[in-house]
Chain A
């Protein structure tokens, strides 16, 4: 961090920024301690995890307040603390952390949601015998995620990234006794790994080009003007600049983590994990990490863009996001597993965020990220509560009429559902989604994303209505009576519900506080924000769309209670399409016949090579040497040994002759010695005398 000061003398790092590393360190430390705890120490483990998490939350709030304070003074502060990790000759690999509006907001969101989920899982997991292990993993995950958030260096970010990947693997496979869970864990790990490989490539390339992995370093960081212009000057393939190419590689990593279209397959299966995990990892935080990453490297993506214009990288991001949004929403329509529906909705919402990033900039995407984090966590935990209440039942067709059975859950769930659908004016989802739609409307490249996103909104409203209707309305089709979940689970739901509503106020056109905060310029309240041309019309359209979706869903599913075995309404209508959707458009199968088959074939080929070609060569060499050895053995036996035996016999006979002299009398030997001395001395003297 001495470097940072020496690089940027005008920038004073506040003690709070110095202490920022504590935020991830605390959960990681508690994870380390929890790993050493005995299984029976359930309370200790939970207290440890929750305590460390709340400490991190306090620190995060402090940091947020600090940033707010500096923002009030005009431009928002960006404080970095950098230090050299490895020094090899002239080149050094630096690590560091950063405190700016983006990281501050993310910190608060992650710690808050995480804390709530921790509390929730105390109730949810209380019957599990691996309670302590679960909390150890959770803390580890939170730590990794927070490290990703505060990282000011792509390398540190990557470390946290991989830590997060590892913990998600551990948590998805938490009930590893179930084959499905184990398989899902493996799938998630491998799929994200594909993305990470691209990410790593991008990182290496970046380092090779700029010589640093720090984002901001008082002018010499890789996200700052000098480095960016250097990257732009460097041409790459497909008419991309190096900046764009690296951006795309990093985006591939992000796509892997936040389940964008080609790599989304792991996310639904990840629902095999415990529900809090689904809520924490696969709704609120980890999948958001991809979006956050794109936001972090946004300067890289945007580099070379004309004012208001876009770049190739951003265009790719947009298209992928938009497509994913619609695609996942379509699949969600035809699912019957409560958590799978939510998973696909998550994917589609992530698509929205990506599209927002691509078209509207950091603020738009991040705003939707924040709001979505809260209401999607709410929904997942509501679903968990439902599953918990209805005895581990996950099929929505086997539920129904839970409205009366679990009122708290129903209320909060409804709030979350409406927020997700973007119910007008009162719910945060509406405003954040509106922001994205507005950005899409004004996008200069194409109109198609706008329509796709609007259609996605319609589908979202539709499948959420279907789900709610199946779960909470109609007559109960459950075998056993459901019951309300304990207070420790419902309380977090309530809190999340509050945020799901309230957060919307931060991003209304009338008072675009969030955007201003992230972009770091002042903001004031004024209804003239709505006066912007087309905005009201857009709001109207989306409202109409939402109501259309709700109404359609209610018309088809509301009030009636179809038995599980009888086909779905739409299925009877358009069976073919339905089948496709039911099988998730056969993406998995497609991969099965293409990628996986190819790898299987390749493995066979390599095996054959190993056995036949290399193995054969080795065997041949071995055979040659064996032959040589055989020859040597023959030579030894016949010649060498034979010769030795002969020689030994001769020696033995000679010794026998000589030993006559040795009659065992000491004095004889002495006598001979003395004689020899006499002779020797005589010779010496005689020779020396002459």
Chain B
């Protein structure tokens, strides 16, 4: 089993874990954590492809990863801010309780 495949598998596993968490937990914050995990798995993929890709000197994957880290930080900040304001509003972070936006 080649190193690339190994990294990819780890990333896939991490992604699935994050997805599972996002799908099964009720706490909004933990859902966010799951999403962060998924993002990180993607980053790992990018870095792995950069490392084992044909043109590492082009830095494409690396840049992709760095930018996605930055974006993920922003996303986390905004998401948590939303969770807090929702909590102030509804006094819960339980996603099952929050189904007001239904058609």
Contacts and interface: CB of A to CB of B under 8 A. Distances in A.
Given A670-B22, A674-B19, A665 B103 contact: no
A666 B101 CA distance: 10
A147 B97 CA distance: 95
A664 interface: yes
Nearest to A677: B19
Contacts of A661: 103
A658 interface: yes
Contacts of B66: none
Nearest to B96: A665
A646 interface: no
Nearest to B25: A667
A307 interface: no
Interface in A635-690: 655-656, 658-667, 670-671, 674
Interface string A27-59: 000000000000000000000000000000000
B2 interface: no
B98 interface: yes
B23 A667 contact: yes
A670 B102 CA distance: 15
B9 interface: no
Contact of A663 (B19, B22, B31, B99): B99
B23 A663 contact: no
Contact of A670 (B23, B100, B101, B103): B23
Interface residues of A, number: 15
Given A667-B22, A670-B22, A674-B19, A662 B31 contact: no
B84 to A, nearest CB: 17
Contacts of A667: 22-23, 31, 95
Residue of B19, B31, B103 with most chain A CB atoms under a 10 A cut-off: B103
A667 B35 CA distance: 12
A96 to B, nearest CB: 73
A671 B23 CA distance: 7
A662 B95 contact: no
A664 B101 contact: yes
A659 B23 contact: no
A663 B102 contact: yes
B99 to A, nearest CB: 4
A662 B103 contact: yes
Given A655-B103, A659-B102, A660-B103, A665 B95 contact: yes
Nearest to B22: A670
A665 B19 contact: no
A674 B96 contact: no
A674 B23 CA distance: 10
Nearest to A665: B99
B56 to A, nearest CB: 26
Contacts of B95: 665-667
Contacts of A663: 99, 102
A235 B102 CA distance: 97
Contacts of A665: 95-96, 98-99
B100 A664 contact: yes
B23 A658 contact: no
B102 A664 contact: yes
Interface string B44-74: 0000000000000000000000000000000
Residue of B22, B96, B100, B102 with most chain A CB atoms under a 10 A cut-off: B102
Residue of A655, A663, A667 with most chain B CB atoms under a 10 A cut-off: A667
A477 to B, nearest CB: 106
Nearest to B24: A667
Contacts of A674: 19, 23
B23 A664 contact: no
Contacts of B102: 659, 662-664
Nearest to B97: A665
Given A664-B98, A666-B95, A658 B19 contact: no
13 contacts: A655-B103, A656-B103, A662-B102, A663-B102, A664-B99, A664-B103, A665-B95, A665-B96, A665-B99, A667-B22, A667-B31, A670-B19, A674-B19
Given A655-B103, A663-B99, A667-B95, 6 more contacts: A664-B102, A665-B96, A665-B98, A667-B22, A670-B22, A674-B19
Q: What 4 pairs across the A-B complex have the smallest Cβ distances?
A: A659-B103, A664-B102, A664-B99, A662-B103
